[in-house]
Amino acid sequence: MSKTVLATILALAAFCPFNIAEGAKDSPNFIVFLTDDQGWGDLGCYGHPIIKSPNLDKFASEGLRLTQCYAACSVCSPSRSAILTGRTPYRNGVWRWIPGGSIYHLRDSEITITSLLKKRGYETCHAGKWHLNGKFNSDDQPQPDDHGYDHWLATQNNAAPNHMNPTNYVRNREEVGRMEGPSAVIAASEAIHWLKGRKDSKTPFFITVWTHEPHLPIESAHQYMKHYSDIEDEGIRQHHGNITQLDDAFGKLMAAVDEMGYRDNTFVFFTSDNGPEGNGTKGRTRGSTGGLRGRKRATHEGGIRVPGIVRWPGKIKAGSVSETPVIGSDIFPTICDVLDIPLPDDRTIDGTTLLPLFSGNAIQREQPLYWRNHLAPAEYRVGMRIGDWKIVGSDNLTSFELYNIKEDWQETTDVAGEFPDKFAELREALIRHDAAVLAEGPGWWKLDGQSKRANRKSAEPPAREDPTGAFDVVLGTSMSKTDFGYLMSPESEGLAFQKLDRPIKDRATIRLKYRSAQKNGVTRNGALVLASTPTNGASFKIGTAIGMNQHVAFAGGWGNVGNAGSKRAAFAPDDTFEIAVSLDLSKRTGSAEINGTTLSFSLPPDLKSIEYVGFYAKDTSTEFSVPVIE
């Protein structure tokens, strides 16, 4: 054989898949372990005084703990899409959490890190929650295997009926049926089984384990709750047990990695998809933000800042800590940089490589940290961070707040007035960046945005007796007389209506006082209620979301809070609020003066006359004075 022919054969062979796979055998392995609704403060290594998380605490001592790690969104599906694509959710199309059966999905036009690794000869596995399509396990939308996974065990959204013995897992497009044990342990065990069963143990792998824990419906195995047996509140025992449950699942996976000799050549990234659910004071949603403002769905830090720990022996210093802001979108370009894979040049990649950070150097960003969530309060729906500065804007980018996160990590003080030049700079940058993001994405958000949220279905509380004799209709609450007027103590959403002798059909002013009767806790609120029909869904509320630091107007139940108007204000939790509501039904408009702050709003079209006036509160005790109508 001539030297020319031999050289040609060798050159061609260099490009064949066999040789790419062979060359990949020295490449590092990757594991991304993602939890669901775990708050920034929900681990021992992040300062929680009670939660037992021995495996993750040990893991933090072996790697790099990120104190300013962010999810790409404050709800689940969008954060997941950013991890796989390196692109902010409104660009990649997964702009919202995905309801079952909906049109929304991670499109096959998106380039996932899994698909890139497959081309490099990697074997790939996903176990746990998927939540990147509405039509799960259907040919109508891409499934995990369409995005590069060789093997997968997944659910569309939550484990059903809860985290114990789930019945809705699907493995490689085949329904599995009931599986015994905690969901997180099932997911980790699936990854371990797959890893041990591979034909060639030297082929590099990429694994994503995405737990359902601690998302609702929370259910923890007894063995994990026993650590909290001295806590009387069952909700706390269940939540904290759920964190210990996922911690044990993580520990089992890491132990298997060690046992099989993969530890030294495996890059592991642990994080969460968003902040904790609920208000943190009742039920099983007891997650901790570690003192940050806001929770799941919020653009403030508590909704988006999450635990983040990375281990890569020999490349990352054990026990190190970094305050550098990073985001889930950074995982994609970091893996590409490790393997010298060129980033796609036909689309914007929002993340950046973290390799310089691992060696103690600064990282460089072309795109700022950016968030948009349609479920956040309308006044705080968009956010951007550049350096220590963070700007939060309303949905239509007409109102803004500015924070210096280094100096004010709890976002207590809007410093826009104190730093006008910086405020103007970031406001212009946010408006420009937001427009570019929305223009690049598929525009699905236009089909299902604010208009749908305004009509969100409201639960109807059960009828209750009124021992005071002052109300014609009482729903979901007890009522009692006080020196102030009346005390409302609702089970969830509570309403009390008085039928007017003469309905309001044109103009009127209604005056009222209210104050929180809670002695502790963040959830405090109270509102005046107007209605033609005395129901939750058909009534209109104007009042104060005390725990959210804003005055609000909304139609229907609490799920629509602020949909007719909201205004941030400064007040103390135990303040007494005096409200004067001016109405003009002929023009469908109104305004409320609340302790010197004016809130304007539009009345719903079906509120043609007001026949009932009353009170509203949710999950909190509130006192109201007798309303005066002028």
**With 90 as the cut, is the pLDDT of residue 13 above it?**
no
Residue with tokens 């994609």: 332
CA distance 366 to 71: 18
pLDDT of 15 = 37
Tens of pLDDT along 21-66?
Answer: 334 568 999 999 999 999 999 999 999 999 999 999 999 999 999 9
Flag the least confident range among 10-19, 276-285, 495-504: 10-19
**With 90 as the cut, is the pLDDT of residue 358 above it?**
yes
- % of the chain exceeding 70 in pLDDT: 94
Flag the least confident range among 15-24, 35-44, 104-113, 365-374: 15-24
Q: Write the Ramachandran bin of 165: left for phi over 0, alpha for psi from -120 to 50, otherwise beta.
A: left
Amino acid at 521: G
**With 90 as the cut, is the pLDDT of residue 520 above it?**
no
Flag the least confident range among 455-464, 537-546, 554-563: 455-464
Please provide the average confidence, as pLDDT, over all residues in the chain. 92
CA distance 382 to 107: 24
pLDDT of 20 = 35
Dihedral, 499, 505, 511, 512 alpha carbons, nearest 10: 30
Question: Residue 93: pLDDT band by 50, 70, 90 thresholds?
Answer: very high
Residue with tokens 């970031």: 426
Which one, of 156, 261, 265, lies nearest residue 206 by Cα?
Answer: 265
- % of the chain exceeding 90 in pLDDT: 85
Enzyme catalytic residues: 76, 131
Residue range 545-560: average pLDDT? Answer: 88
Residue range 163-188: average pLDDT? Answer: 98
Flag the least confident range among 12-21, 519-528, 561-570: 12-21
pLDDT of 1 = 42
More confident of the two residues 16 and 406: 406
pLDDT of 514 = 97
pLDDT of 19 = 35
**With 90 as the cut, is the pLDDT of residue 549 above it?**
no
Q: Please tell me whether residue 482 adopts helix, strand or coil conformation.
A: coil
Query: For residue 24, what is the DSSP state?
Result: G
pLDDT of 126 = 98
Residue range 464-478: average pLDDT? Answer: 96
Flag the least confident range among 207-211, 246-250, 271-275, 542-546: 542-546
For the chain, the C-alpha Rg in angstroms (whole number) is: 27
Flag the least confident range among 96-105, 439-448, 481-490: 439-448
Residue count of the chain, please give it: 630
pLDDT of 570 = 82
